[in-house]
Chain A
């Protein structure tokens, strides 16, 4: 009887089948996989919108779209990439990797984990279908600045609800991650022995809990201004349009770090593994991450240098913003020092991490340029800013996500990915990324505003280069998709630890990682 019961038990939990496996799953690996595929689908959706933008901007004049539809493309590209692609992708990594890396059996709140994922598809559906409602999707920019966003049609309301839902999902995900990390580490794993990826996610989760409610507040005020005759953002009723920007960016700047800190974590796992040398300055990495997170709360108004602040305000936010360069610099130096005198090999994860380091740092430097208030006043809302944040978000967050995917694919699938395809993906991405975005620095400095569907003829050649690069970059991602599918379907059998220098707990498990892992916690010395 006992044996039969045991068999049933294991049958239920090890091999649930069909759609219900995915709908009802409480397994961190399944949920991680769902997050990752969801974010990839959103990445492709947002990417298609980006190609719509670049196609229109291929040459001066209006060829494809009406200006209002162009605005919808830029807005939805931003919203979908930020909330649909980058953030859920990192949560997918957290789900898959945090329990494996701290020696836990699963996430702390398994059902809430399921719920926080399944909130996302309805939110995404609201965003995508808003293109088809009367008046179309919102065209107020992903920042949804009032009063322009108050003017928009019902697509705006759908976007507001989508943001609410995704915010709730993020908060639940963060509570889960914090609880898991603080309570479920293997015996002997003190906080300062945690892998850096876990550290960066711990800090990121706190940031999410702190700021997602702020965003929810901002868009709720927008909603009541739109429909219930409140005047939070209307001067005629005693409100102030600039209030929206303060509240939005109090969310928005920590959000920037929400999208980059876990990327720092991934890179901090990958570089030591392929340099075959421990991470340089582990403790200072942790402190630098925490410093960046704390500073992120006192720099928000650097997004608003042209709204007209007093000189004291501009000076404060400029100094605080410049300070962020210090801990960020420490991180870059530490990574280079980790590589220094290592014994490096350059498989695809390492290529993406080194690529990240090189190109992300360019975004860091342009960030410093943007921090200088007088220069920012000249380049704010130009293509320079577009170049800057794509250097940190694409070459930063996205390249780190690719790096992590190739790094852990053998653990997830049990197969080695095709190294040739991976390298091809890296080089195509790297080249086309720079082709697309490097020239945007020139465009911005020379005076091309962002979010315009048409431009003066002196900007024509760089826009053409950027558009060609964008289509190349978009197509390059099909190589990634092919490589991942090929790896899932088969390939060389992956050993438990395919990377010589890797040393965290997930590599002690067989590949693929068993459906239930660490039911008996490992002991960390």
Chain B
């Protein structure tokens, strides 16, 4: 109880003094890019204007509440309009709004200027992880990181989420593979998605951009300080929406070049990176060598629905449900599994699976259900 009271006191004192004090607990996080800084000061400006208006208007209201009450014997006046006053309180807010619109307009134009980037990275939202492709660009970093692909999945173990282990410092805000970018360079982010709409959001950069399947959008940032910056998917994208964080590591240019050189060689076809996700049972991308294991894919992904027959999925082993489907031929089944059918998302919701892996999983299920 006393803890609760102290928390309430904390909240109210923060409100009373400065709602966006140095700590980011009560306000926008410390801005780390020019755009974020503009947004931060815009918010400060508008918050203060609102506070002043609020105090004036409700100051009047509370004076009235205390003075103009029947219990203190106040007799009601009978005025009910005053054109001058009404014009004034229509025009003044209008002027104040124009004062707010001016700096906001400048910021919008700055945010929209994605021209001449030093580096362009495509961020693809998947259910539920992020993929980053360093594109071949023409900026000052052209050629440094071309062709590198990184998949970033939640690194927080399920044990922590389900209360079986103590929570780590960056609980839910940690990934297996961070997005690495150089500092003091204009980074253009192209966003898209493979399945549903996601949103790429890093608060400290003042960047949030929806990632829309089938379309490309862009945004940009420039980080000044080396460090690790954390964000999350900001658009509801299904069951693990809360579990697909974004982690950006900003390093100086030399370090970035080292990192890129290492990862470029790793990206060579001979030894494709094994981007094994910690959560969701996703497996290696198509380029992965080795035999394709249908059972593994089934256990890690398909069984979620097909194991128990959820959402209309034919239950594995239910010969009746499978007979008509098997009759359609393997090609049709695999095609449906790849493209999705009815409530089943494409590739069972894991676009990182190769067609061969999907086919192997289908074969495995058919084998068990004949």
Q: Which residues from chain A sit less than 8 Å from chain B, CB to CB?
A: 60-63, 66-68, 71, 134-135, 139-141, 145, 147-148, 151-154, 234-236, 240-242, 275-284, 306-308, 310-311, 314-315, 318-319, 322-323, 325-326, 329-330, 332-333, 336-346, 354, 357-358, 361-362, 365, 368-369, 372-375, 377-378, 380-382, 435, 438-439, 441-442, 445-447, 449, 451-458, 461-462, 464-465, 468, 501
Contacts and interface: CB of A to CB of B under 8 A. Distances in A.
Contact of B108 (A318, A323, A456, A501): A318
A345 B208 contact: no
Given A241-B214, A369-B47, A333 B8 contact: no
25 contacts: A60-B172, A145-B235, A147-B213, A148-B196, A148-B237, A148-B238, A234-B214, A241-B197, A278-B80, A281-B86, A315-B105, A343-B76, A345-B69, A345-B71, A365-B50, A372-B46, A372-B100, A374-B38, A374-B107, A377-B111, A445-B28, A447-B232, A453-B242, A456-B172, A464-B4
Contacts of B170: 456
B78 A277 contact: yes
B325 to A, nearest CB: 18
Nearest to B14: A442
Contacts, number: 313
Contacts of A242: 212, 215
Contacts of B35: 374
B177 interface: no
A347 to B, nearest CB: 11
B65 A369 contact: no
Contacts of B161: 61-62, 454
Nearest to B51: A365
B133 interface: no
B97 A326 contact: yes
A324 B30 CA distance: 31
Contacts of B10: 461
A340 B64 contact: yes
B26 A336 contact: no
B90 to A, nearest CB: 6
B203 interface: yes
Given A280-B81, A282-B81, A336-B60, A375 B171 contact: no
A336 B86 CA distance: 12
Contacts of A326: 90, 93-94, 97
A369 B43 contact: yes
A468 B4 CA distance: 9
Contacts of A461: 7, 10
A337 B39 CA distance: 35
Contacts of B163: 61-63
A275 B86 CA distance: 20
Given A375-B43, A435-B8, A67 B196 contact: no
Contact of B80 (A277, A358, A362, A453): A277
Contacts of B80: 277-282, 338
Contacts of A339: 61, 64-65, 68
Contact of A134 (B15, B78, B160, B311): B311
Contacts of A465: 4, 7-8, 11
Interface string B345-367: 10000000000000000000000
A462 B11 contact: yes
B211 to A, nearest CB: 10
A373 B14 contact: no
A341 B76 contact: yes
Interface residues of B toward A: which range? 35 or more
A449 B232 contact: yes
Contacts of B206: 374, 377-378
Contacts of B76: 275-277, 341-343, 501
A350 to B, nearest CB: 10
A378 B28 contact: yes
A374 B108 contact: yes
A412 B23 CA distance: 52
B79 A280 contact: yes
Given A277-B77, A368-B46, A449-B242, A148 B101 contact: no
Contacts of A362: 54
B89 A329 contact: yes
Contacts of B25: 442, 446, 458
Contacts of B218: 308
A449 B207 CA distance: 14
A20 B74 CA distance: 52
B43 A330 contact: no
Given A71-B241, A152-B343, A277-B78, A325 B93 contact: yes
Contacts of B178: none
Contacts of A323: 97
A60 B171 contact: yes
Contacts of B68: 275, 339-344
A154 B355 CA distance: 28
B70 A358 contact: no
B236 interface: yes
B74 A343 contact: yes
A380 B236 contact: no
Which 3 pairs from chain A and chain B are nearest by CB? Answer: A235-B214, A452-B242, A308-B217
A331 to B, nearest CB: 11
Nearest to A381: B234
B145 interface: no
A507 to B, nearest CB: 17
B199 interface: yes
Contacts of A441: 19
Interface in B154-209: 160-163, 167, 170-173, 191, 195-197, 199, 201, 203, 206-209
Contacts of B75: 343
Contacts of A336: 57, 60-61, 64
Contacts of A139: 238-239
Contacts of B50: 365, 368-369
Contact of B345 (A61, A151, A439): A151
B38 A457 contact: no
A236 B193 CA distance: 13
Nearest to B35: A374
Given A341-B76, A365-B54, A449 B172 contact: no
A411 B350 CA distance: 61
A445 B47 CA distance: 12
Nearest to B73: A343
